[in-house]
Amino acid sequence: MSETSLSVVVPVPATLAAPETGFLNLGHYQHPTRQLTVNSRYLSLDGRPWMPVMGEFHYSRYPESEWAAELAKMKAGGVDIVASYVIWNHHEPLQGQWHWDGRRDLSRFIDLAAQAGLLVYLRPGPWVHAEVRLGGFPDWLPATGPLRCNDPVYLGHVKRFYDQIGAQVKGRLWCDGGPIVGLQLENEYGSTGPGAGKEHIAELKRLAIEAGMTVPIYTVTGWPTLDIPPTEVLPVSGAYADGFWQGSREALPPSGVFLFNTRRVIGEMGNVDGTPAAGLIDTEHYPFCLAEAGGGMHQSYHRRPVISTEDVYATTLVQLGSGANLYGYYMYHGGTNPVCETGPLNETQASGYPNDVPQWGYDFHAPLGQYGQVRPSWGRLRLLHQFMQAFGETLAPLVAVLPEAGPLDPADRTQPRVSVRAVGARASEMEGFVFVNHHVRHHPLPALAGQHWQLETAQGDALHLPSEGSVDLRPGMAFIWPVGQRLGSLCMRQATVQPLTRWQDADGAVTWVGFAIEGVAAEVVLDASGLQGVNAFGAKVDQLDDGATRVRLVATDSPQLIELTEVGGRVHRLLILSQAMAAEAQQVQLGGQNRLVRSSHPAFLDASGEQLQLQRPAGEAGQLWIYPAQGLGGERHTAGVTWASWSWTAEPARQWALQPSLRQAAGQAPAIQWGPHISWRDGPVPLVPDESAQAGAARWALTVPAQALEALHQAPGQRLWLTLDLVGDVARLWVDGTVVDDRFCDGSRWQIALDRWLPAGAAPTIEISLLPIAADLPVFLEPAARAAGAGAVLREAVLSLSRTDAVSPRAGS
């Protein structure tokens, strides 16, 4: 450590108390051959600590013909459990008339999730919010009497709804050998008192079980109150980097989701009544589980945040460093509200709710968008998902420890943000992980030079990170370092590379995959015990004073291999990728063997588990690499290790710049109308312009070139994307005179899978309408969107073709 380094001391516990068991009345209704349980610290699957990733995807907001492909993408993104609301007014818009077909076919969705290798978590409300009209309640329900309480009439209707769901899930529950492992009751429930609060949640659980929804885990949202039956349900948390429900027209103050915190403080989470969180989740009884960690953020008319990849990555990393042991995204996959005979299904201020949200679009800027488009956050978050899957058994039992000096204030700009989940009586026995975050949305942190961390044991000795020198923290950095990694009889004492995944072959040899962190010198330190030899292939190897071996890797974009031979001759491998390369990589089981797949574009296994599918723009070349290459076909490519590889050439002329035809020029921006003042906001927010204002919208017709239509229908599995660059307020997509999608302009490009409305044959009439935006419209826009100016401008409209390439990698297949 240099004399100018700034050392932060973090105490590491010598041992950990055993988690509490027996308090929670959960873990019943078990699988015929497997077991899922929960204690006060973590979930266990088949007797091992388990750290699953859960992603929200609303089946009724997506065409059923595309479910299988999207579920496969979720699995390839590192998701273990797909969660979904069961939205009442999507299924019973008119009393007694049920819809369980098409995109509302819940049982088929569950079956396809199981085929994709996903577990299922259902959230049937009955009230769900979900930015749906009346929180998901059918229009006819409010007239029947009191809601969200133990009123007999209300409970009678809930029983009918739950019984319908019970029929859909029959034979698909965990206890049937199926994929459904959990159920959330209600959502954002704030009522208390007789017939409400804990009494109502207990009654909902009883009705769910009576309806046949018997699962090991029952949850409730841990906000806005904790008036819950304490042993009957597990309260879950949320973490959003921004909130469309907030009333501010400016960037929000520094958020606590970017600060390591072990108190599980849940602030205002967008619940309709705005009730502040009452109390804290009791860490003595409940593990830290999240069901609503923002995978992005929805739009409201008055607030249009665009969440960056760095925002969601840092939010996730901070929650993991704070002790999270189940990480559930809301949303992981966007969608579109379905057509309903009773009218629009979106939340509005006119319906008595706090926000105006788009009538159709529910993109949420999620890792997988409204049309299944793969965003950069999909690959970046997968770095953390694979870490949880490969190292969660070690990490889940470990508690989070923070430096005594803090920081404790989300606005602190002077101290490095660090958390440690580790245990060890001595530095030589320490095992765990170090989490560092230097990103805060809208408030870039200053560079902090010369940072060094000291993990101190109760015995007084310490582990120094890095082993020598220091790290300069730059704005936007967020990373994880491993401590005490076991590879057979060997120990990787510490490393300044981030763990990605690992696997063990039948002979006990371990392949450990990590990646170099941009701006951090990559080193690996290995204890001397059991180590016979190191082959570092060009990296610098030296010995420390205590006999440990240090490997300093070179700065390169290519993979680097380190072979470690233990006494007895068994060889373990460390494969270190660049950060960009790691975001392209996923571990899969292929041909009965663990392998690492890298791809230039998103790739996923099909339901057979034998064929890889690569989705790419047809105008871009595609590449796929798999390590180890043994038993596979393809070419051979050496980069650190030998990969099996496949490539596809770019196709010419697969993008078309459209020339929109202006049908109607924009009028004046609509006059501002104000909604009611909600008590938990500083004042009212603007209403979305009503339908009469649409008469002043600019309108363009778009002609799809014949070449584009011909190319689209030449082969299955192709998509035709329409990408629009707009400056304006409310945009709509019209097909043959009917609105099929909409969005509030937020400065990002609007990407639409236009092929949904382009069957073989004559092309429909495609139009875009756009209300002009006033320069001083009192809503929140990101700085780039605000700087784009006023009016209604269609700056660019481009069509592009994407395709799916398939390969069966096994030799001879």
List CB contacts of 196: < 8 A, sequence separation 6 or more. 148, 149, 150, 227
At 276 the pLDDT is 63
* Mean pLDDT score, 446-464: 95
At 268 the pLDDT is 58
At 198 the pLDDT is 97
**Per-residue pLDDT reduced to its tens digit, 429-442:** 999 999 999 999 99
Task: Give the whole-number percent of the chain exceeding pLDDT 90.
Answer: 92
The answer to whether residue 538 scores a pLDDT higher than 90 is no
SS (H, E, C) 246-272: CCCCCCCCCCHHHCCCCCCCCCCCCCC
Do the bridges between strand 417-423 and strand 43-45 make them parallel or antiparallel, or are there none, so unpaired? unpaired
**Per-residue pLDDT reduced to its tens digit, 766-793:** 999 999 999 999 999 999 999 999 999 9
The answer to whether residue 120 scores a pLDDT higher than 60 is yes
**Per-residue pLDDT reduced to its tens digit, 358-379:** 999 999 999 999 999 999 999 9
At 217 the pLDDT is 98
- Contact between residue 473 and residue 491 where contact means Cβ atoms under 8 Å apart: no
Q: How far apart are CA 265 and CA 565, in angstroms?
A: 47
* Mean pLDDT score, 482-511: 97
Q: What is the mean pLDDT of the chain?
A: 95
Residue 520 in tokens: 């951090």
Q: Which backbone phi and psi does 72 adopt, to 5 degrees?
A: -65, -40
**Per-residue pLDDT reduced to its tens digit, 269-278:** 777 766 666 6
The answer to whether residue 534 scores a pLDDT higher than 70 is yes
At 221 the pLDDT is 94
At 7 the pLDDT is 86
* Mean pLDDT score, 460-485: 96
**Per-residue pLDDT reduced to its tens digit, 227-248:** 999 999 999 999 999 999 999 9
Under DSSP, is residue 667 helix (H, G, I), strand (E, B) or coil? Answer: coil
Q: How far apart are CA 272 and CA 275, in angstroms?
A: 8
At 503 the pLDDT is 98
Q: How far apart are CA 366 and CA 61, in angstroms?
A: 14
Residue 410 in tokens: 């989300």
Under DSSP, is residue 315 helix (H, G, I), strand (E, B) or coil? Answer: helix
At 267 the pLDDT is 59
Q: How far apart are CA 491 and CA 691, in angstroms?
A: 67
Task: Give the whole-number percent of the chain exceeding pLDDT 70.
Answer: 98
Taking alpha carbons only, the member of 405, 378, 307, 303 closest to residue 601 is 378
At 175 the pLDDT is 98
* Mean pLDDT score, 100-126: 98
The answer to whether residue 253 scores a pLDDT higher than 60 is yes
pLDDT band at 282 (very low <50, low <70, confident <90, very high): confident
Max CA pair span of the chain: 81
At 626 the pLDDT is 97
The answer to whether residue 3 scores a pLDDT higher than 60 is no
Amino acid present at 633: G
Task: Say which residue the tokens 């899978």 belong to.
Answer: 753
List CB contacts of 728: < 8 A, sequence separation 6 or more. 666, 698, 745, 770, 771, 772, 773, 791, 792, 793
The answer to whether residue 557 scores a pLDDT higher than 50 is yes
**Per-residue pLDDT reduced to its tens digit, 152-207:** 999 999 999 999 999 999 999 999 999 999 999 999 999 999 999 999 999 999 99
At 2 the pLDDT is 44
In the chain, the N- to C-terminal Cα span, in Å, equals: 55
Dihedral sign, CA of 482, 466, 380, 86? positive
Q: How far apart are CA 669 and CA 37, in angstroms?
A: 57
Lowest-confidence region among 575-579, 757-761, 783-787:
757-761
Beta partners for 534? Answer: 564
